[in-house]
Amino acid sequence: MNEKDLALAAIIFFSFTVEAASGFGSIVLAVTLGSLLFPIKTMVPLLAALNLFLGCYILTRYFRRVDWRLLTHRILPFMVMGTAVGAALSVHLANRGLKILFGALVVLFSLTQLYRIVLIRLRPEKTTAQTNTRPEWLTSLLMGLAGVTHGLYASGGPLLVYSLAGLNREKQVFRATLSAVWFVLNCILILYFANVGQFTAETARTILYFIPVIAVAIFSGEWLHHRINEVHFKTFVYGLLIVAGSALFF
């Protein structure tokens, strides 16, 4: 492995540790950081496939924690439609355009979430009221747009997490449900990438190199999930995303 591959291994370890701890973040972090070294179109099929290993682990261990009604009645119908649109659009976008658009989405989402963290601390009752007054059609639209970003970058987490804000699910239920979402959508994406020639034998061989990295990331993420302060952890992740997302503009 060369220096760029070792850097990608470190990025994958960090990113998948974050998702194992929180339920989202592996691909958005890995694409944001990794696209500084590799084309997005090269990374997305690889990361979508690697995410299946993490999803298999979380779903096997926390299957009973999945909110199946939320998953099948609210999230998947809109996310699947959006993912199909995003995957079709990705074929027509150049890598430079993908990077700038993705960087803008990441920075906007991270700033919004940091603002929400601060607002919850200062005015918790106001934050809850604002979330509860969001119309149903807007939540559905956000889920559909989350699907579009997942089709483009395999990174629907930011918009989906934003659309689900205020549901107040226990963090283990939230993590397990999100893992089920990514597992279903990434299976669909891999079939699509294989059909259009973006998921190749070389991609499959590369996956084998990173399976041990995923295994260590799962162990690290599980350890963090039960011990780390969730607010501090998210603040750190969103701050990192702002810096990395901003770098994609240049």
Q: Where are the domains of the chain?
A: 3-247
What pLDDT is recorded for position 76? 94
Which ranges of 66-200 would DSSP assign to H, the alpha helix?
68-69, 76-90, 95-122, 124-132, 136-153, 157-164, 171-196
| For helices 136-153 and 26-34, angle between their N-to-C axes, nearest 10 degrees | 50
What pLDDT is recorded for position 226? 75
Candidates 27, 37, 39, 40; CA nearest to 6 is 37
Contact 193, 45 (CB under 8 A): yes
Contact 15, 50 (CB under 8 A): no
What pLDDT is recorded for position 124? 60
Q: 197 φ, ψ to 5°?
A: 85, 10
What pLDDT is recorded for position 36? 81
Looking from the CA of 69 toward its CB, the CA atoms found within 13 Å total: 1
What pLDDT is recorded for position 126? 54
Distance in angstroms (rounded) separating the CA atoms of residues 136 and 51: 30
Cα distances from 151 to residues 31, 91, 198, 220, in angstroms, run: 13, 10, 13, 28
pTM over 0.75? The answer is yes
Distance in angstroms (rounded) separating the CA atoms of residues 99 and 77: 27
What is the chain's pLDDT, residue by residue, as a tens digit (250 residues)? 678 889 999 999 998 888 888 766 778 888 888 888 888 888 888 888 998 988 898 899 889 999 999 999 999 999 999 999 988 887 777 777 777 888 888 888 888 888 888 877 776 655 555 555 668 888 889 899 999 988 888 888 778 887 887 666 677 788 889 889 999 999 999 998 888 888 888 888 888 889 999 999 989 988 887 777 777 777 877 887 888 778 778 6
What pLDDT is recorded for position 1? 64
Both tokens assigned to 185:
């959508």
Look up tokens 């355009």; give the residue: 97
What pLDDT is recorded for position 12? 92
What pLDDT is recorded for position 77? 94
What pLDDT is recorded for position 125? 56
What pLDDT is recorded for position 229? 76
Both tokens assigned to 62:
């926390």
